[in-house]
Amino acid sequence: MATAAVVSAAALPAAPSPSPVRYTPRRAALRDVPQLHAALLKSGELTTSPESFHSFLEATALPSPATTAAHLSYAIRLLRLGPHPPLSARSYNILIRALFRAGHPEDALHLFVEMLDAAIAANVCPDQHTIANTVKSCARMYALATGRSVQAYAVKLGFMADQFVLNSLIHMYASCGDVAAAQVLFNTVEEKGVVTWNAMIAGYVKNGDWKEVVEMFKGMLEVQAPFDEVTLVSVATACGKIGDSKLGERIGVYAEEKGMVRNRNLATALVDMYAKCGELDKARRLFDRMHSRDVVAWSAMISGYTQADRCREALTIFNEMQATEVNPNDVTMVSVLSACAVLGALEMGKWVHSYIRRKALPLTVVLGTALVDFYAKCGCIEDAVKAFESMPVRNSWTWTALIKGMASNGRGREALELFSSMREANIEPTDVTFIGVLLACSHNCLVEEGRRHFDSMTQDYGIHPRIEHYGCMVDLLGRAGLIDEAHQFIRNMPIEPNAVVWRALLSACTVHKNVEIGEEALKQIIPLDPCHSGNYILLSNTYASVGQWKEAAMIRKEMNERGIKKIPGCSLIELDGTIFEFFAEDSEHPQSREIYEKVDEMIENIKMAGYVPNTADARLDVDESEKQVSVSHHSEKLAIAFGLMKSRPGATIRLSKNLRVCVDCHSATKLISKVYNREIVVRDRNRFHHFKDGLCSCNDY
DNA sequence: TTAGGGTTAG
């Protein structure tokens, strides 16, 4: 029986010797409870005065920071065993409410049933408070059927005109997902109070129907219905979700004017809303002005930074949070891990993982998925698998995270095997799962499998390919050298190809030296994405690859004339938990001179192992030796040199960069891994390269 | 005594 958890937690302590304590209905520590109890017994008040009896029950059972399961247990045993005055609805109401508030709705329901049994023998009848509180417990437990039968009692007992009963029923139906039933009841309420509206709106919130929340609020304004902070919390949240910055802003201004931002929940909802509407700095200003910030407020601010791709700031503010009394919870850690994943901040993320274990934070499916994704995005695929296996519950997001992780770490076969296991586990794949599957195929040149999965996606799962799926297919065909087929594939697409799709083709043309289709691809890209420097560089490199130097130079000139700047290459490396950032030709670092000396030493050493600089990707307007110097100062070579200087011999060097690894850096890094006997893991904008013993996990593909 | 609220992953 569910009740046992609380009720049998402690036996009734022996009554202490009588003492002259006068009973006052204050919250009592458990050691005081038997004393008070004894005093009331002695004076006879406990059995003769229902007033005193109820005050004692309340003081003992109603949750306060000092209340424990033992308090609840004590009160319930008193109710059951006595002695006490004749019981009334109020006696049961106090405990039903206390159990609900203490987070034991199942025990509250059980007590309600007990009350119905007692009703027959002791003439105790549930009142409207009983019904409202019991319905709340049903809502908390998502016990829709039980809720319906409690409503039947309410009808039988004639409580259906009571505002509290109605409001709790609306809330119960709505939070159990039966919004239609909630709406039917809502419509029957003649005098709708602010709580009635709020209960209905909360129902749409629970069901993620954000548009309806906003519509309902607009309807409220029209009929001049009353609203309060609670209403605005729901509406602000909805504005954030659907990006209605206009209404969100109005609510923000209104709440400021009326001083409602003193309400912490509303302030938090507004912080979240501003962040989701792209007004991150506004969110921060409000956050900074909050009088008290609990874990939810901190989490909202951190996730705001993470979702806006300002991950360094997310980690900075997380550090600030740790200087406070507020402890992070599982939700906080989801955002922190996702920031670490984006930054490739392995040490920080590992620390988060150990914190989760140490504090026994619940490994929810969301947190576990974030962990899997974090390890995979840091190139630690074995740890990602371990995290995956440690999860008690996995869903399609979890499987997808690992499939994508496998794919981008060059383990396409395993990604496809995982996909089969996922199907065997009866987890439905989503559109994103198929992006992982197609990535696995394209990174591993599995053309036939790719074609099959692409077709099966629609035929077997009814998932219609999005532009990303087409992009993967073009990439797959193009990498495999099937340039004409890739080109034809784009022409046959039922949706408009975007610049990404064309760029995949252009990139394949560069690798496979196809000038004609490369030119066509660039022609298509220019109107779609005229400012992306990569387009011009790819075609220029295509010309260069077949020796058409004049055309190559022309393209670069055209790019300069259009004022398009090459995106500077940038590499990040994390050492001892600090992230260092390097740009090509960087001289910002205080140890610049030593780093450049290390680069020279590195290049000399790998030249002896057979390295020949590949200057195809270098600037074209300088002579060969300058080109060689220029490629040797690419950001990842600087970062690797720094990593060699600063880490202990044999330690793995991990870096992440914003562009794709160039051909020269790729061949140089292979040799560095061999000459210096280091494993080097490089995350580029598309995938991972695990360099070891002179080889790379991507097989140069 | 009694009803309603904010943060999270691929």
Could you tell me how far CA A103 lies from the centroid of its own chain? 26
Q: What is the rounded CA–CA span in Å between residue A266 and residue A236?
A: 8
CA–C1' span, A128 to B2, in Å?
A: 8
Mean pLDDT of A469-493: 93
CA–C1' span, A195 to B2, in Å?
A: 13
Q: What is the rounded CA–CA span in Å between residue A482 and residue A473?
A: 11
Q: What percent of chain A has pLDDT over 70?
A: 93
> From the Cβ of A408, is strand B under 7 Å away?
no
pLDDT at A71 over 90: no
| Closest nucleotide C1' to the C-alpha of A399 | B10
CA–C1' span, A212 to B2, in Å?
A: 29
> From the Cβ of A498, is strand B under 7 Å away?
no
pLDDT in tens, A544-594: 888 888 888 888 888 888 888 777 888 888 787 677 888 888 788 888 888
pLDDT at A18 over 50: no
Domain boundaries, chain A: 1-125, 489-566, 570-696
Q: Token pair 């969100």 is at which residue?
A: A248
pLDDT in tens, A140-156: 998 899 999 999 989 99
Name the average pLDDT for chain A.
87
Sign of the torsion formed by the C-alpha atoms of A236, A240, A242 and A243 = positive
Note the pLDDT of residue A326.
94
Note the pLDDT of residue A622.
64
Closest CA to A84 of A117, A65, A56, A104: A56
> From the Cβ of A341, is strand B under 7 Å away?
yes
Which two three-digit tokens encode residue A256?
Answer: 């400021």
A443, A698 Cβ separation under 8 angstroms: yes
Q: What is the rounded CA–CA span in Å between residue A227 and residue A339?
A: 37
Q: How many CA atoms lie within 13 A of A592 on its CB side?
A: 10
Q: Which of residues 379-398 of A touch strand B (CB under 7 A)?
A: 395-398
CA–C1' span, A365 to B10, in Å?
A: 12
Per DSSP, A699 falls in state T
Note the pLDDT of residue A441.
93
Mean pLDDT of A356-370: 95
Mean pLDDT of A352-377: 95
CA–C1' span, A392 to B10, in Å?
A: 18
Q: What is the rounded CA–CA span in Å between residue A568 and residue A583?
A: 7
Q: Which of residues 566-595 of A touch strand B (CB under 7 A)?
A: none
Lowest-pLDDT choice from A11-20, A24-33, A409-418, A450-459 = A11-20
Higher-confidence residue of A522 and A365: namely A365
> From the Cβ of A369, is strand B under 7 Å away?
yes
Note the pLDDT of residue A14.
30
Residues contacting A117, CB < 8 A, separation 6+: none
| Closest nucleotide C1' to the C-alpha of A163 | B3
Q: Which of residues 127-146 of A touch strand B (CB under 7 A)?
A: 127-129, 132-133, 136, 139
Torsion of CA A36, A39, A40, A41, to 10 degrees: 120
Closest CA to A582 of A673, A645, A535: A645
Which protein residue has its CA closest to C1' of B8? Answer: A331
Q: Which of residues 264-323 of A touch strand B (CB under 7 A)?
A: 264-266, 268-269, 272, 294-297, 299-300, 303, 306-307
| Band of residue A4 on the pLDDT scale cut at 50, 70, 90 | very low
| Closest nucleotide C1' to the C-alpha of A331 | B8
Distances (CA, A) of A618 to A531, A568, A668, A685: 20, 13, 15, 19
Q: What is the rounded CA–CA span in Å between residue A632 and residue A422?
A: 45
Residues contacting A256, CB < 8 A, separation 6+: none
Q: What percent of chain A has pLDDT over 90?
A: 51
> From the Cβ of A172, is strand B under 7 Å away?
no
The residues with which A569 forms a beta bridge, in sequence order, are none
CA–C1' span, A282 to B4, in Å?
A: 28
| Closest nucleotide C1' to the C-alpha of A369 | B9
CA–C1' span, A72 to B4, in Å?
A: 26
A240: left (phi over 0), alpha (psi -120 to 50) or beta: alpha
pLDDT in tens, A600-640: 998 998 898 888 887 766 655 567 777 778 788 888 999 99
pLDDT in tens, A238-281: 999 999 999 999 999 999 999 899 999 999 999 999 999 999 99
Q: Which of residues 433-472 of A touch strand B (CB under 7 A)?
A: 433
Note the pLDDT of residue A432.
95
Closest CA to A91 of A73, A75, A109: A75
A636, A655 Cβ separation under 8 angstroms: yes
Closest CA to A591 of A606, A580, A602: A580
Mean pLDDT of A420-440: 94
| Band of residue A474 on the pLDDT scale cut at 50, 70, 90 | very high
Mean pLDDT of A501-524: 88
Note the pLDDT of residue A83.
84
Q: Is the peptide bond before A497 cis (omega within 30 degrees of 0)?
A: no
Residues contacting A466, CB < 8 A, separation 6+: A431
Beginning with the edge strand found earlier in the chain, give each strand of the sheet holding A680-683 in spatial order: A578-583, A570-575, A653-657, A680-683, A688-692, A695-696
The protein footprint on chain B, as nucleotides within 7 A of a CB, is: 1-10
| Band of residue A65 on the pLDDT scale cut at 50, 70, 90 | low
pLDDT in tens, A302-352: 999 999 999 999 999 999 999 999 999 999 999 999 999 998 889 999 999
A508, A478 Cβ separation under 8 angstroms: yes
- Write the DSSP string, A314-382: HHHHHHHHHTSSPPP-HHHHHHHHHHHHHHT-HHHHHHHHHHHHHTT----HHHHHHHHHHHHHTT-HH
Note the pLDDT of residue A5.
34
CA–C1' span, A371 to B7, in Å?
A: 18
Note the pLDDT of residue A164.
92
CA–C1' span, A364 to B9, in Å?
A: 10
Note the pLDDT of residue A55.
84
pLDDT at A76 over 50: yes
When computed from its CA atoms, the radius of gyration of chain A, rounded to whole angstroms, is 33
Q: What is the rounded CA–CA span in Å between residue A165 and residue A112?
A: 15
CA–C1' span, A74 to B5, in Å?
A: 32
CA angle A539, A544, A547 (to 5 degrees): 135
Record: fold of A489-566: 1.25.40
pLDDT in tens, A638-694: 999 999 999 999 888 888 888 888 888 888 999 999 999 999 988 888 788 889 998
| Band of residue A79 on the pLDDT scale cut at 50, 70, 90 | confident
pLDDT at A184 over 50: yes
Q: What is the rounded CA–CA span in Å between residue A33 and residue A54?
A: 14
